[in-house]
Structure 1
Amino acid sequence: MGQLTIPGETGQVSDGYHTFDELYAHRCRLFIALMQLLPKVSWWSRRHHDGNMPQGWVVAGLHLPTGDVTYHLPEADVPLLRVAQVRESETAPPWDGHSSQDVLDRLERWLDLRGQGMPRETQDNEGERS
């Protein structure tokens, strides 16, 4: 398959309904909302496990029973993480090597587990790390 090149700012590319920037903002807000609902397994940090972090970004994640789910979020979203009372960690846990596809698979398997009646009291703490 060939490569499509569109001149202009990537974030302003639209499908006719939303720009990439709008969709990315939606993803960030939805992830923070999910983290707020699962406080025992949610975290964020200004540094990766090795202490590094690209300027202007933080990393946030969930320790789910199906595996870790992480995203980089714009540093501008830190106030939202604080409002959501997501726990801040000194550094992120070591990355397990997951890909974007792994994240989708882990979320889908987690949704399947919840749909199969995972006990309510373990829904937000199963997979929790100390």
Structure 2
Amino acid sequence: MQHWKDQGLINTKDISDGYHTFGQLYHDRAVLFAVICNSYKDKAWKSKQHHDGTMFGEPGEMFIVGVETPQGQYTYHYHTNEYWDMYKVKELEFAPEWDGHTHEDIGRLFSLIEKM
């Protein structure tokens, strides 16, 4: 598949399971995470640089957005031009240092509502 991608024959965001494309799911995830971050503005942030000043892609192309839960951080990276303005949270010059979380830690998000 990588060979086809390299030749421009397929685009990952157009691959579908028959119901949704990867592009649709990526966008839906961005919207849902924006709802969480915008609902917990006191715990959420966004930055165009990691804690060490690095970032993926060209300068300004990507950003990181995160929320500090009682169980630790949860973050995603998104394309700036598509998603930056969706996140109405405080902008930091540098993101907090990564605490080692992975996609397997998504359950941390439930800890935001456990005390409600």
TM-score range, shorter chain: 0.7 to 0.9
Mapped pair 1:90 → 2:99: no
| AA in 2 matched with 1:66 | Q
Separation (CA, whole Å) in 1 of partners of 2:28 and 2:109: 17
Tell me the equivalent position of 1:19: 21
Separation (CA, whole Å) in 1 of partners of 2:66 and 2:54: 16
Q: Deviations over 1:2-31 (max 9, x none)?
A: xxx485211110011110011001101111
Separation (CA, whole Å) in 1 of partners of 2:89 and 2:41: 6
Q: Which runs of 4+ in 1 moved over 6 A?
A: none
Aligned length: 106
Q: Deviations over 1:44-83 (max 9, x none)?
A: 00000000111311000000001110110111211222xx
TM-score scaled to structure 1, two decimals?
0.74
Separation (CA, whole Å) in 1 of partners of 2:49 and 2:79: 13
Q: 1:30 aligns with which of 32, 39, 52?
A: 32
Mapped pair 1:69 → 2:74: yes
Separation (CA, whole Å) in 2 of partners of 1:48 and 1:67: 17
Q: Which protein, 1 or 2, shows the higher relative CO under an 8 Å CA cutoff with sep ≥ 6?
A: 1
Separation (CA, whole Å) in 1 of partners of 2:85 and 2:104: 28
Percent identity over the alignment? Answer: 37
TM-score scaled to structure 2, two decimals?
0.83
Separation (CA, whole Å) in 2 of partners of 1:95 and 1:63: 11
Q: 1:79 aligns with which of 60, 78, 85?
A: 85
Superposed CA RMSD: 1.7
